[in-house]
Structure 1
Amino acid sequence: DIDMGFEPNHLMFLDKDGKSRFKYYTANNMVYNTPEQIAAYTTDSSDDTHATHVMGIAGGNYESESYSISGVATEADLAGASIEGYDTEIMKGIEDFVAYAKEQNKPLVINMSLGDNCGPHDDSDDLSQYINKVIDDKAAVICMASGNEGTNPIVQRKTFNSATDELRANLLCVHQYYGYSYESPSVYFKSEKPFSFSLVIYDNLSKKIIKQYDPITGPTIKNYQSTEEKADPDYSQYFSGTIRVSADNVKDRGYYYLQIASQRFQRKNSNVTIGYIVTGDEGQSVVAYADDATYLVDSFTPSAYSFPEYTAAKDVTFDGTVSNMAAGTKAIIVGSYNSRDKGKYSNNKSYSLYSFGETNVLGDVSSFTSWGTVDGVSLPDIAAPGCSVESAISTYYQKAKREAYTKGVYYNGKTYYWSVEMGTSMAAPYMSGVAALWLEADPTLTNEDIKKIAKETAISDEYVKNTKYPVQFGAGKIDAYNGLKYVLDHKTTALKSVDADKDMMFRQTGDNTYEAYVAGETAITVRLFDMSGSLVRESRSAGSTTSFSVAGMPKGIYAVELCGAKTSHKIKIAVK
């Protein structure tokens, strides 16, 4: 996982001998790759727990008499790279993981629960190109969160009906609600050719433009600032810091871009903000991608204590809210669906989808899932559980923040914590864990193989079929079990050997019904024996999968024997 907020020695990451399952970890240009180094490590930040929660979902596991919780790939080796979010850090983290996996001769799954929406949404940047090269080289499977901006007004798209038609919006910066010191308006515009852009100063109280600056119609860099000799008096009256507008032609891609960025920008009047007016030729299309904390609005109600109310600008769409990095890479892009609707914290206070701000029901796609069809490609690829997911949280974070938690376990002089979170950040590691399970069954699988299997075996239930924005669900809900069956079936068809201890899966499908799968078998006989050894039930079915019922059988422990032409397996079940 490439992230921030690691606690590699959390109980959820310890093996049966009490040692961390983290085998490789980097932070602050330091490498920790021995059991002693990792055992002595604490955390990269007491202000964050994101990575600990994410890794718990992907591969954590904890079992005791009083509490048990399991991630997906519970036997996988774990690795982490602590970063602050810069592209160069991300690339270095990926590079280190690839080198370590190659050294260990093991397949690699990288989880990336991070991203930003502002940008070209293609593979023109260095980070996207690097990720795609890693995937093309078959060096890693990469699972990436689609983003949590599916209900935010951060994308505008317009085709001009005439030369006087306008694309316009005012910028509501909500960075302070995300813990930033400065407002940092950021918007990226993209079109097939140059257009006219005018920065405006907008008074939300009077609903009027205070000043409209001269239009920018081609490649340039323009600063609007409150300092230096060239400070603009109107700008300086309402703002501090700098707004920079840069525009240029991307010749090798065949499009024109314009970007609004800022440096130490602050509004002096809560009712006054910056905005823009864009015009173009008749038939010309322009799309604007803002970052996750720059809302494109028509008007808003300022508030110092709560999230401001606003009216979204005209031409705002949720189609395109998928993160810039996700849109530019070949990674497996993961959205979230609502897998738990309610529960309780350790203080007995309740949580629910509603308390998390979620508007869709249990089983439906999480409304916050970012999505879009960009350059003909629809994303996300797949949806995984991501709302109200319980996992580990950093002990150091909990001590610093003292937030509500679902479970605390005292062990060896220290209390470890778990809690629930929501986001595509939680869905992506679920998919990462599934990818690791499938790779355990067949280490030759590539990123493209796993993406294909996930899509072909996805669950398409009534929620998937009837959701408001079908693209938001991708191919449907990830099905780890049937995907693994697909992997094993195709492995045996290709005459590849399957380890004897990994060729059978068994699950309970109802109160009295079970399903068994044995790779490569053409028929399976099921025999049930009571504890005296007497045969009490027998059935036979064609194929590698069989189902059977224990309805009507007396309570007790039974031995189940699964016999095929090549293999046989024995397990025990309890009839209650």
Structure 2
Amino acid sequence: MIGDNIGTYYCSSKDYQMEDTDVVGDATFCKAFDGYVGVGRLVDTETGRYYGMVDYSVINNKETNLNDDYVLGFEVIGKPGHKIECYGDAQNTWMDNYGVEGFTDGSTDGSISDIAVADNVIAVGSYNTRNQWTCLDGGTAHYEGDAFKVGGISGFSSYGTLSDGRELPLVCAPGSAIISSVSYPFAKIVKQEYGEEYLNFMCQAKLVEEKRVNYWKQEVGTSMSTPFVAGSIALWLEANPDLDVNDVKEIIRKTAVRDDDVNNTKEQKRWGAGKFNALAGLKEAIRMSGIPGITTDTNNDRLILTREGDRLYKAFVGNADKMDARVYTVDGRLVMHRSGAGDELDIDFTGMNAGIYIINVNGHHNSRIIVK
């Protein structure tokens, strides 16, 4: 053990000494490391919580600890009934017991940011939808490793169990790697300092306008997945303005996808409810509105038609008791009739000729499709 004096720093040499009270040259510390380590404390008078902090910057002693025979650890002593939580900075510190008996192994449970834990906040994690991309210069780039496996949870996506028992995030959405817009001033600076060749290596798309050039590049992070969910919820609120945050949370939980990527993850709570489903959530928002369809000034807006396969489509009219679909050619010939109970209906074009068709649902919802 190096020491247990609260507020004291242990330094391997005077190069790291800041105060007269710092201990310089401790034999045990110097044998293992070059650098410094100290322990501080704080008592929150309002909550009664005791906070301790380990502040350190060390590298291995090149002569006596070249093979990582010594690692920096700490011991916390409490009384029966005390709850002790230990956190790293999530950047340069991680906790591992290295198989040493009596020491606790670390966990990423609890890594979620405190700005995401309020009860009326929708916390969103990230999963991977792409790990390689083509750049403007014609080259390709990619991410390696399980942290970026397509379909899997993003390695950087944080999570945690709160003291009140809630588990966050609520859901995960596409956050790696997303082709996102680049700030025009940023692109301008990059071009000025590194040249257009580097900009074409860095970016994946561009749009040339009369007075400016707009760029897009791959990005990763919950700063990508969160806007994906926020924009989708905005659409839900267009369909049903009466939704509150608890309604939205319930829709997310009810419609989230739990596929093999989700179910085969060891730490299930990292996913929350699963993979965010914008379309299923929109349909659920419409169903919760208590009105038949979306009330707008055009009949067609009541119908949602989605492609489910090569020649399979699904028609949806919110809160409809039954569905009656008729398919016509552009010259007005009826070529298919399907019906069923509920507000969704599959329409299968297998065996039909390629061409343009008009789908009419319940007599007044129309949509045109192209069958190849």
| Structure-2-length-normalised TM-score | 0.79
Structure 1 CA distance for aligned equivalents of residues 281 and 8 of structure 2: 53
Report what 1:509 is aligned to.
308
The Cα shift of 1:256 comes to 2.6
Using a 3 Å threshold, how does the CA distance of structure 1 residues 426 and 358 change in structure 2: closer, same or farther?
A: farther
Indicate the residue corresponding to 2:17 in structure 1: 226
- Residue 458 of structure 1 and its aligned partner are, at CA, apart by 1.0
TM-score (norm 1): 0.53
Q: Against the structure 1 CA distance between its residues 239 and 340, is the aligned structure 2 distance closer, same or farther, given a 3 Å change threshold?
A: closer
Aligned counterpart in structure 2 of residue 499 of structure 1, from 290, 293, 296:
296
Q: 1:282 to 1:550 in 2, by over 3 A?
A: same
Q: How much is the aligned-residue C-alpha RMSD, in angstroms?
A: 3.1
SS in structure 2 at match of 1:526 = strand
- Residue 553 of structure 1, CA deviation: 1.6
Structure 1 residue runs without a partner (length 5+): 1-208, 217-221, 301-312
- Which position in structure 2 is the counterpart of 1:315? 105
Query: Relative contact order: is structure 1 or structure 2 higher (C-alpha 8 Å, sep ≥ 6)?
Result: 1
User: Which residue in the other structure is 2:159 paired with?
Assistant: 371
Tell me: CA distance 1:360–1:412, structure 2 relative to 1, closer, same or farther (3 Å).
Answer: closer
How does 1:187-266 map onto structure 2 within 5 Å? Answer: 211-214=2-5, 216=6, 222=7, 224=9, 226-227=17-18, 230=21, 232-234=23-25, 245-252=40-47, 255-260=49-54
Correspondence for 1:532: 331
Distance 2:309 2:293 in 1: 33
**Contact 1:338–1:364 at 8 Å: present in 2 too?**
yes
Secondary structure, counterpart of 1:487 in structure 2: helix
Alignment check: 8 A CA contact 2:293 2:302 kept:
no
- The equivalent residue for 2:195 is none
Shift in alpha-carbon separation, 1:496–1:544, aligned structure 2, 3 A? closer
Question: Among residues 177, 180, 183, which one is paired with 1:388 in the alignment?
Answer: 177
Listed as ranges, the matches of 1:515-526 within 5 Å are 515-526=314-325
Distance 1:394 1:509, change over 3 A: same
Give identity over the alignment, percent: 29
Counterparts of 1:47-86 in structure 2 under 5 Å? none
Partner Cα distance (1:459, 1:537) in 2: 32
Specify the SS of the correspondent of 2:227: helix
2:286 and 2:53 map into 1 onto residues whose CA distance is: 49
Q: Which has the higher strand share?
A: 1
Matched, 1:349 2:145: no
Bigger Rg, which one: 2
- Separation in 2, partners of 1:510, 1:291: 46
Q: 1: distance between equivalents of 2:167 and 2:243?
A: 23
- Partners of 2:128 and 2:154 within 8 A in 1: yes
Whether the 8 Å CA contact 1:386–1:427 is kept in 2: the answer is yes
Does the 8 Å contact 1:491/1:498 carry over to 2? no
Taking the aligned partners of 1:558 and 1:276, their CA distance within structure 2 comes to 71
2:337 and 2:262 map into 1 onto residues whose CA distance is 38
> How many equivalent residue pairs?
337
- Of residues 547, 552, 562, the one that matches 2:346 is 547
Q: 1:514 is paired with a residue of what secondary structure?
A: strand
Q: Provide Cα deviations, 1:408-445, integer angstroms capped at 9, x if missing partner.
A: 22111322111112222211111111111111112222
Task: Look up the match of 2:78.
Answer: 280
Equivalent pair of 1:492/1:498 in contact (CA under 8 Å)? no
- CA offsets per residue over residues 90-146 of structure 1, 9 Å max, x none? xxxxxxxxxxxxxxxxxxxxxxxxxxxxxxxxxxxxxxxxxxxxxxxxxxxxxxxxx
Q: Is the 8 A contact 1:559 1:570 kept in 2?
A: yes
Alpha-carbon displacement from aligned partner over 1:242-301 (angstroms, at most 9, x marks no partner): 96723214544x53322346xxx866988799763322335644211122223135699x
Unmatched tracts of structure 2, length 5 or more: 10-15, 66-70, 191-197
User: Match for 1:337 among 84, 103, 127?
Assistant: 127
Partners of 1:353 and 1:444 in 2: how far apart? 42
Secondary structure of the 1:453 match is: helix
Conserved? CA contact 1:529–1:537, under 8 Å: yes
Q: Structure 2 residue aligned with 1:463, among 256, 261, 285?
A: 261
